[in-house]
């Protein structure tokens, strides 16, 4: 156990956490970052086209640049380390992780979001056996295979675009009646000529003995079930806020941490930023801005309170 | 035009020049029937040119068969990262993309002789007295993969009984097929225990223990 009381602990090292850290470092705050990874969801974006200053940049490159910026300061990063519980007694916040226990006067939660799973009965069995949640990682393993991408948002289209380089055919299976993704991405995917869009449909079963051999989909309009023969399933059906480790702040019914315009949560001294919060629009550039605000807000709180 | 740009070389130099011990890269290559051997050798040459701490030995997989057998190298391109002794740290395929990170980490590991593993982990590794081979299948676009590779290499560094291999699934599709690699990182230990994903130190260690039973 580390009995030292930091001025600030930042949980998460994605765009919000890194930006908060840069701001905190410039304010010369005594702080650490605890994170299970670097870059959060950003690192899995194949192309980012809406971060001001970069017309096109891969998620990985953007994260690399963030990290380079962070490395200008002498920041203590505890990684990979996962937070398990946050509590507060008097004015001191206690952070319990899978490795240690830490204390701090303020906390910024920037833990982002976790991808949602499919929710079909035999999902666990097929994980890593044709069923995957990381197109960036696994797309190259599906050369000349038939695959399905489940979802209709930007991340689904991003997965489909990555797969067009490898797969023979891609079924894009969307529960909605039209794609929510940016039209630019939709065009890019469909221009490949190998994407087949199946709307109003959901996956009800994965078929296969050891590995994925197909999926059964249900058309929600005509209630008709269809079996598609394929070898790969890429799940991109959104995500949920990574906030399960804390129950002392107010959250929305979906688990997003509620913050005010200065990133304050309902618990004094605890701030939150980025995709884990209820702030409108989950975007990299917004997460960065929120991270900056949270750090300045934590700094102001410390200056006044202690 | 080289593979590494000046900015990366400078950064690398500052890291490698500070290593307290020399690191030897034994690179196995061949001119024919190995589409990525030339790229791998070039990358290793560029890394070795950056710092005097890195010693490079380029070996021919056929001509230097004896050395390959001694190091149990059975496919190419292969790179063994060796220090004062052979720790059993191997890279099969070009460690480019995200694996460049795990490669540099391996150089730091051998060059500093410090794994950074928990004391309890090191103690448990001392209890292993059976040979353990860890294969970590990766793709170069997988951000999680270096975590699994680095951890496996650290285990190999700490135990004389453990050898650890990064294998690029795209360069060795027959192996990817044999071991059913449909998600990365995929770890195969002693041909009998396997799992996917980058797991924490303690959990990885449990799999190793299970494989030695």
Interval B4-27 mean pLDDT = 95
B188 part of a folded domain: yes
Cβ of residue A132 closer than 8 Å to a chain B Cβ:
yes
- The C-alpha atoms of residue B16 and residue A194 are separated, in whole angstroms, by 46
Which of A82, A127, A137 has its CB closest to that of B144? A137
pLDDT, one tens digit per residue, over A247-256 is 999 999 999 9
What pLDDT is attached to residue A96?
A: 97
Contact (CB<8Å) B141/A43 = no
Which residues of A fall within a CB distance of 8 Å from B98?
Answer: 60
Per-residue pLDDT of A20-67, as tens digits, reads 999 999 999 999 999 998 899 898 787 788 999 999 888 888 998 998
In this structure, the answer to whether residues B11 and B107 fall within a common structural domain is yes
CB contact under 8 A, B182 and A132: yes
* Residue A213 contacts B where some CB pair is shorter than 8 Å: no
Domain count, chain A: 2
A99 is in which domain, residue-wise?
Answer: 5-115+239-305
B22 CB neighbour count, 10 Å cutoff: 15
Residues B36-54: what's their mean pLDDT?
A: 97
Q: Tell me what pLDDT residue B1 has.
A: 64
Residue A77's pLDDT band (cuts 50, 70, 90): very high
The count of structural domains within chain B is 2
pLDDT of residue A148: 98
Residues of B in contact with A127 (CB under 8 A): 183, 196
Q: Do A253 and A230 have their domain in common?
A: no
Cβ separation of A141 and B196 shorter than 8 Å? no
The domain boundary, picked from A206, A235, A264, lies at A235
Answer yes or no: do A136 and B143 touch at CB < 8 A.
Answer: yes
Task: Answer yes or no: do A151 and A250 share one domain.
Answer: no
Q: Which of A241, A215, A235, A263 is nearest to A153 (CA)?
A: A235
Is B1 within a domain? no
Q: How many CB pairs under 8 A join A and B?
A: 66
Q: Which of A184, A208, A235 is the last residue of a domain?
A: A235
CB–CB contact A138 B170 (8 Å)? no
Indicate whether A102 and A180 sit together in one domain: no
What CATH number has the domain bearing residue B179? 3.40.30.10
Q: In this complex, is the C-beta atom of A116 within 8 Å of any C-beta atom belonging to chain B?
A: no
Give dist(CA A284, CA A299) in Å, integer: 23
With CB atoms and an 8 Å threshold, state whether A137 touches B139.
yes
- Whether A141 contacts chain B with CB within 8 A: yes
> What CATH number does residue A281 fall under?
3.50.50.60
Does A111 share its domain with A244? Answer: yes
Residue B150: per-residue pLDDT: 95
A231 with A243, same domain: the answer is no
Whether A194 has a pLDDT exceeding 90, the answer reads yes
For the record, the structure tokens of A181 come out as 């993704």
- Look at residue B191 and tell me if it is in a domain: yes
Q: Is A138 a catalytic residue?
A: yes
Asked if A274 has any chain B CB less than 8 Å from its own CB, the reply is no
* pLDDT at position A64: 85
Give me the mean pLDDT over the A207-233 stretch.
96
Residue of B nearest to A234 (CA): B183
Same domain, A149 and A76: no
Mean pLDDT over each residue of chain B, to the nearest integer: 94
The residues, ordered by sequence, that sit 6+ positions from A159 with a Cβ below 8 Å of its Cβ are: A135, A139, A149, A151, A234, A236
Residue range of the domain that includes B20? 6-112
How sure is the predictor about B15, in pLDDT bands with cuts at 50, 70 and 90?
A: very high
What SS3 string covers B119-170? HHHHHHHHCCCCCEEEEEEECCCCCCHHHHHHHHHHHHHHCCCEEEEEEECC
- Average pLDDT in chain A: 95
Position A286 pLDDT exceeds 80:
yes
Domain shared by A272 and A134, yes or no? no
Do both B85 and B130 map to the same domain? no
In this prediction, residue A37 carries a pLDDT of 86
Residue the block writes with tokens 């400078």? B10
Q: In this structure, are B85 and B129 located in the same domain?
A: no
Please, which residues bridge with residue B41 across strands?
none
Does A298 lie in the same domain as A205?
no
Report DSSP letters for chain A, one per residue: ----EEEEEEE--SHHHHHHHHHHHHTT--EEEE-SSSSGGGGG-S-B--BTTBSSB-HHHHHHHHHHHHTTS--EEE-S--EEEEEEETTEEEEEESS-EEEEEEEEE---EEEPP---TTHHHHBTTTEES-HHHHGGGGTT-EEEEE--SHHHHHHHHHHTTT-SEEEEE-SSSS--S-HHHHHHHHTTS-EEEE-SEEEEEEE-SSS--EEEEEETTT--EEEEE-SEEEE---EEES-TT--SS-B-TTSPBP--TT-B-SSTTEEE-GGGB--S---HHHHHHHHHHHHHHHHHHHHHH-
Check pLDDT > 70 for residue A157: yes
Radius of gyration of chain B (CA): 16
Range of weakest confidence among A66-70, A104-108, A173-177, A273-277 = A66-70
Among A125-134, A286-295, B15-24, the least confident range: A125-134
């Amino acid at each position: 156990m580390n009995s030292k009381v930091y001025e600030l602990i930042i949980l998460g090292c994605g765009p919000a956490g890194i930006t908060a850290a840069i701001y905190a470092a410039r304010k010369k705050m005594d702080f650490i970052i605890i994170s299970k990874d670097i870059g959060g969801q950003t690192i899995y974006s194949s192309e980012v086209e809406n971060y001001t200053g970069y017309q096109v940049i891969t998620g990985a490159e953007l994260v690399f640049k963030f990290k380079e910026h962070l490395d200008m300061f002498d920041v203590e990063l505890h990684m990979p380390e996962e937070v398990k519980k946050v509590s507060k007694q008097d004015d001191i916040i206690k952070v319990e992780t899978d490795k240690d226990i830490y204390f701090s006067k303020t906390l910024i939660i920037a833990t982002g979001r976790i991808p949602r799973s499919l929710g079909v009965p035999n999902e666990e069995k097929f994980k890593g056996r044709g069923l995957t949640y990381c197109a960036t990682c696994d797309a190259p393993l599906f050369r000349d295979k038939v695959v399905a991408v489940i979802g209709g948002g930007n991340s689904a289209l991003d997965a489909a675009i990555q797969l067009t380089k490898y797969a023979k055919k891609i079924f894009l299976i969307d529960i909605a009646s039209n794609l929510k993704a940016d039209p630019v991405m939709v065009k890019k995917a469909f221009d490949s000529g190998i994407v087949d869009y199946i709307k109003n449909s959901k996956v009800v079963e994965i078929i296969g003995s050891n590995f994925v051999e197909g999926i059964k989909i249900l058309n929600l309009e005509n209630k008709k079930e269809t079996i598609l023969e394929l070898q790969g399933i890429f799940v991109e059906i959104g995500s949920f806020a990574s906030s399960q480790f804390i129950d002392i702040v107010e959250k929305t019914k979906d688990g997003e941490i509620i913050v005010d315009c200065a990133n304050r949560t309902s618990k004094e001294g605890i701030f939150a930023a980025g995709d884990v919060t209820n702030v409108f629009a989950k975007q990299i550039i917004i997460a960065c801005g929120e991270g900056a605000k949270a750090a300045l807000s934590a700094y102001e709180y410390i200056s006044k309170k202690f | 035009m080289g593979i590494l740009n000046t900015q990366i070389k400078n950064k690398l130099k500052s890291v490698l020049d500070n290593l307290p011990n020399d690191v030897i890269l034994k690179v196995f290559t061949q001119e024919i029937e190995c589409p990525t051997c030339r790229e791998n050798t070039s990358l290793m040459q560029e890394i070795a040119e950056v710092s005097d701490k890195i010693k490079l030995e380029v070996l021919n997989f056929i001509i230097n068969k004896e050395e390959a057998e001694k190091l149990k190298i059975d496919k190419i391109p292969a790179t063994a990262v060796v220090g004062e002794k052979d720790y059993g740290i191997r890279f099969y395929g070009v460690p480019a993309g995200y694996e460049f990170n795990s490669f540099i980490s391996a150089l730091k590991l051998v060059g500093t002789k410090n794994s950074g593993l928990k004391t309890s982990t090191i103690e448990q590794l001392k209890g292993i007295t059976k040979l353990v081979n860890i294969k970590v299948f990766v793709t170069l676009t997988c951000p999680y993969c270096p975590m699994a590779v680095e951890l496996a290499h650290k285990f190999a560094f700490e135990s004389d009984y453990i050898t650890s291999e990064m294998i690029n699934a795209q360069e060795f599709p027959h192996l990817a097929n044999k071991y059913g690699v449909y998600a990365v990182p995929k770890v195969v230990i002693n041909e009998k225990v396997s799992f996917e994903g980058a797991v924490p130190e303690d959990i990885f260690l449990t799999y190793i223990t299970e494989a030695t039973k």
